[in-house]
Structure 1
Amino acid sequence: MDRYSRQTLFAPIGVDGQKSIGEKHVLLIGAGALGTGNAEALVRAGVGKITIIDRDYVEWSNLQRQQLYCEKDAHEKLPKAVAAKERLQLINSEVEINAQVADVTADMLDALVKDECFDLLLDATDNFDIRMIMNDISQKHGVPWIYGACVGSYGISFTIFPGETPCLQCLLKTVPLGGATCDTVGIIAPAVGMVVAHQVAEALKILSGNVKDCNRKLVSFDLWKNQYVSLNVAGLKNLECLSCGENKAYPFLSFENQTKTAVLCGRDSVQIRPAETLSGGRSLRAIKELLTSQGIGVEANPYLISFQVEGHRLVAFQDGRVLVHGTKEIARAKTLYHRYLG
């Protein structure tokens, strides 16, 4: 117990809370900036078991903010889940770490949460496809989850309790979403650290049995502009919400509401068709303005826009479809889509 002595000296946790933390199982989706920060903090805190799922591998640009990785990982292009597990086991060999290299789908996540006894779901993803699936899985199986995101110097976090707080779909009806990503406008490490701090603090409250102390407000901040907002969103809970309302249907677990991908026959291209509920109704003009503001050259006509990034040409149509030229790898196409258009 000497290992956790400073944590048990903290009265709200104490010996009983530490014992509780050591018996809990956390599912962490994403092993990027937020994922590595959350994983390291929870493993150091003595969580009993952590399952980490990520589809990507370590790149040189990750090293600026993704704290578990080193140059060797980037040189070898190790899958992030694998590299994270190796580092985490060196930090705390007592914690059981289950690492999966996979692209999360609704069916996969539903089966996993059904089979495993998770006490908490942690969001460290880079796109709303997976977040909305997490949201519905949380509501369906009654497991709390902590939403978190950051870009530039901005960050946001919110803890969602099924049956009590508004869910993410409730919030998205009111809270506006920007189109910027870390790959288009960058990110500074302190913004990552601030979101991680909020997520881990909430996680420790839940895992140690102090749910009553959790923050029910949505927290957002901009470190560069010295702005901090704590917003009471309780009134946004929608009784008609199909994810958490009175007539739950869990729409994002249905095939028709998931992003579809297909390799085009005879062409070195992948077509991505986002779910209508996730497309956001953005016009081609709005997408063009967003990309242009980030220094990306865009060609456009009344029917589509196209642009070149990372050796690939992306073509976006008004109906939401996107063609990613220069690859037959669906995982690569989805990564580019979420980086620039997701």
Structure 2
Amino acid sequence: MSRRFIKYRTSDGFVLGEGFKNRGVIREVQEGISSRTLGVLSTDIFSKKILVVGVGSVGSYIAEQLVRSGVGAMIIMDPDVVEYANLSRTVYMAYDVGKSKVNRLAKRLKRINPGLEVECWRRDIQTCSSEELVGIFSKCDVIVATTDDPQAQRVINRFAYGLGKPAVFVGLYEGAEGGEVIISIPGETPCYQCATSVRHEMEQTTGEVGVKTDYGTGKLEGVVALGVDIQHVASASVKIILSLLVPSESNVKLKGFLAPAIEKGFSYLTFSMKDQYWFYPYIFEGTPGQYAYQSVWLSPLRNEECVVCGKIEQDIDSLMMTPVKMPTLANIRKAVD
């Protein structure tokens, strides 16, 4: 068995990771991976490409699990470097600290499956042009949004829905005591923007659960939380993502996993990791055997006036005209002057 390594680079020079030159090893790895999911996942998964935006505690875990499940190509996007604080609940190691998250994650993923195709974007998605985003999103089968920036989530939502790509948005609530997985399938479900309005409405009567925003950066504040609670939500999202990758003509177990939920209007999965959390006591009151680790599927409604999934249909031309980053107050004043 040859263990000579070859480096993979993007056009802008980012090192993607290391892989075996020996094609026989790559084939053996793929056969080994599929041997443990035979009859559950289709082998078509090796030809699927996933975009993961945000590779912190949630995104890095999801990316690794997807590769271990057989996903054959991935685009990962994140502008940040690894910090010591990331070591408690991500897949990064101490020697990754100070280095680009996407580069270090790509190396790790290539060591799991040397045949994996990885494209790295060390960028904030809001610094990408509309043309770049259309190009990136168009070549992916599923979009995974795991950023800590609400505005970035809205950008992902608009481009994924506008290009007809299914998207999965994964988020944790304060202290990872709860979390959510929102599924957005163009033409079948409301978009992420419409779905999250359900939580905002419920928070008015049952209390806030979302993580607070640091208005200095626009990102969500980092919170103290256990990695296992974060992975509880992330693991559920992995199964949902994998089910979206199963071809309709395939005859495997995971094919029928998500369809019944979508048919019932369930596209918003919520989690509770503690007893008597949020609205859960109202749902499970009087039900025996209830404690922590509960889940409830919600049925968000589409807002017909929504600019993403409402009556007005988007096309590629309209996406090209979409401003990716909100204008700053300074730029607005400059334009007025």
1:4 equivalent in alignment to 2:38: no
Give the structure 1 partner of residue 230 of structure 2. 192
Q: Percent identity?
A: 26
Asked if the contact 1:120–1:144 (Cα under 8 Å) also holds between the matched residues in 2, the reply is yes
1:131 equivalent in alignment to 2:153: yes
1:73 equivalent in alignment to 2:138: no
Aligned mates of 2:123, 2:235 — CA distance in 1 = 26
Structure 1 residues 56 and 137, CA, compared in 2 at 3 Å: closer, same or farther? same
- Structure 1: give runs of 5+ residues left out of the alignment: 263-270, 274-342
More strand by proportion, 1 or 2? 1
Relative contact order, higher structure (CA 8 A, sep 6+): 2
Cα offset, 1:244, TM superposition: 0.3
Give the structure 2 partner of residue 219 of structure 1. 269
Aligned mates of 1:183, 1:128 — CA distance in 2 = 11
Counterpart AA for 1:259: M
Asked if the contact 1:136–1:253 (Cα under 8 Å) also holds between the matched residues in 2, the reply is no
Aligned mates of 1:127, 1:64 — CA distance in 2 = 21
Asked if the contact 2:172–2:211 (Cα under 8 Å) also holds between the matched residues in 1, the reply is no
SS in 1 for 2:199: coil
Structure 1 residues 61 and 162, CA, compared in 2 at 3 Å: closer, same or farther? same
1:228 equivalent in alignment to 2:297: no
Aligned mates of 1:124, 1:49 — CA distance in 2 = 18
- Structure 1 residue corresponding to 2:243, chosen from 205, 228, 236: 205
Asked if the contact 1:110–1:137 (Cα under 8 Å) also holds between the matched residues in 2, the reply is no
Counterpart AA for 1:145: A
Post-superposition CA distance 1:127-173 (Å, at most 9, x none) = 11111011111111000000101141221102110111011111233
Q: How does 1:40-189 map to 2 (within 5 A)?
A: 40-67=64-91, 69-74=92-97, 77-105=98-126, 107-108=128-129, 111-114=132-135, 116-151=138-173, 152=175, 153-176=177-200, 178-180=210-212, 183-189=221-227
Asked if the contact 2:33–2:68 (Cα under 8 Å) also holds between the matched residues in 1, the reply is no
Aligned mates of 1:113, 1:212 — CA distance in 2 = 30
TM-score by length of 2: 0.68
- Structure 2: give runs of 5+ residues left out of the alignment: 1-30, 201-207, 214-219, 248-253, 276-291, 333-337
Cα offset, 1:111, TM superposition: 2.6
- Size of the aligned set, in residue pairs, is 254
Counterpart AA for 1:180: K
Give the structure 2 partner of residue 259 of structure 1. 326
TM-score by length of 1: 0.67
Structure 1 residues 89 and 227, CA, compared in 2 at 3 Å: closer, same or farther? closer
Aligned mates of 2:157, 2:127 — CA distance in 1 = 11
Asked if the contact 2:125–2:152 (Cα under 8 Å) also holds between the matched residues in 1, the reply is yes
Aligned mates of 1:102, 1:89 — CA distance in 2 = 21
Cα offset, 1:253, TM superposition: 7.1
Aligned mates of 1:89, 1:25 — CA distance in 2 = 15
Aligned mates of 1:192, 1:109 — CA distance in 2 = 32
Aligned mates of 1:106, 1:244 — CA distance in 2 = 24
Aligned mates of 1:73, 1:41 — CA distance in 2 = 19
Structure 1 residues 191 and 272, CA, compared in 2 at 3 Å: closer, same or farther? farther
Asked if the contact 2:75–2:118 (Cα under 8 Å) also holds between the matched residues in 1, the reply is yes
